[in-house]
Amino acid sequence: MSVAEPRRIVLFRHAKADWPQVTDHERPLAERGRMDAAVAGRKLADTGIPFDLALCSTATRTRETWKLAVHELPHRPKTVYEERIYEASPGELIAVLNETPDDVQDMILIGHNPGVQGLAEVLSGAAEGDARERMSRRGFPAAAYAVVSFDGAWKSLEPGVATLLDYWAPSE
């Protein structure tokens, strides 16, 4: 890994969840969510990003989303289930990301809105192409993801230092 290479983070919102009579933390994916998670996994594979690490919320819907998406990737990164991602604000998510070991170059965070969308917006001081316009127009629906990059150590990640490289959301 070259220090000069930008680090990449994919900020991935869980797929569409069902509303059965369970706690919010235990909500499973809906049928549509299961389909969208697999499609998102194929799109993530198309990015060619070789994830070193996946940080996933402990909520049922995020774990199910990641299980379906990672099945579509050419290699499976180490996955850490992190309780602090559930209901986290963008600032709290940055604090979690700041703890990432320096040997991690590319990672994916699987979480929830409004934190994931807010994090994409807060980190991105710049954007490539029409990614920001597409994200602004579509919002951050279930199973959407944004790809951001930044230079430096994980502990230096802060608002405005990243570039929004790409954005994808399932079609309605």
Q: What is the pTM of this model?
A: 0.95
Q: What is the mean pLDDT of each run of 10 residues along the chain (172 residues)?
A: 79 96 96 98 98 99 99 97 98 98 98 98 96 95 98 97 98 66
Q: How far is CA 116 from CA 85, 113, 154, in A?
A: 9, 5, 17
Q: What is the pLDDT of residue 2?
A: 47
- What pLDDT does residue 4 have? 65
Supply the DSSP symbol for 25.
G
pLDDT recorded at residue 1: 45
> Which amino acid, residue 41?
G
Query: Phi and psi dihedrals of 46, rounded to 5?
Result: -65, -25
Which pLDDT value is given to residue 11? Answer: 99
Q: DSSP secondary structure string, 49-102?
A: ---SEEEE-SSHHHHHHHHHHHTTSSSPPEEEE-GGGTT--HHHHHHHHHTS-T
Domains with residue ranges and CATH for the chain? 7-168 (3.40.50.1240)
